Amino acid sequence: MKGRRDKLTWTHDKREVVTLSNMSKRNFILELPTGRCRLDAGRRMQTMASLLEQPAIRKLVDQGDLTVER
């Protein structure tokens, strides 16, 4: 229908959203529960904080390749 707005079917807590920044000079293919995601060197992506529980993501954060902003 014209002029009708879609209703929100879900909302998220903004505290659960983080920004991952690729601080390295390498491009990464991240294996996420929802599928693969490419994060190029110097780029950022917003995602849910629960992603930080993934071992591969945690390793990149611990190495300093990715930084997390809340």
Please check whether residue 5 lies inside any domain of the structure.
no
For residue 6, the model assigns a pLDDT of 64
Please check whether residue 47 lies inside any domain of the structure.
yes
Please check whether residue 40 lies inside any domain of the structure.
yes
Structural domain count of the chain: 1
Please check whether residue 50 lies inside any domain of the structure.
yes
Structural domain of residue 46, as residue ranges? 22-69
Please check whether residue 1 lies inside any domain of the structure.
no
Rounded average pLDDT per 10-residue block, the chain, 70 residues:
60 86 97 94 95 96 97
For residue 31, the model assigns a pLDDT of 93
Please check whether residue 44 lies inside any domain of the structure.
yes
**Cβ(51)–Cβ(32) under 8 Å?**
yes
Q: Give the global pTM.
A: 0.79
For residue 65, the model assigns a pLDDT of 98
For residue 59, the model assigns a pLDDT of 97
**Cβ(47)–Cβ(33) under 8 Å?**
no
- CA distances to 6, 29, 47, 60 from 34, rounded to whole Å, are 25, 13, 12, 18
Please check whether residue 4 lies inside any domain of the structure.
no
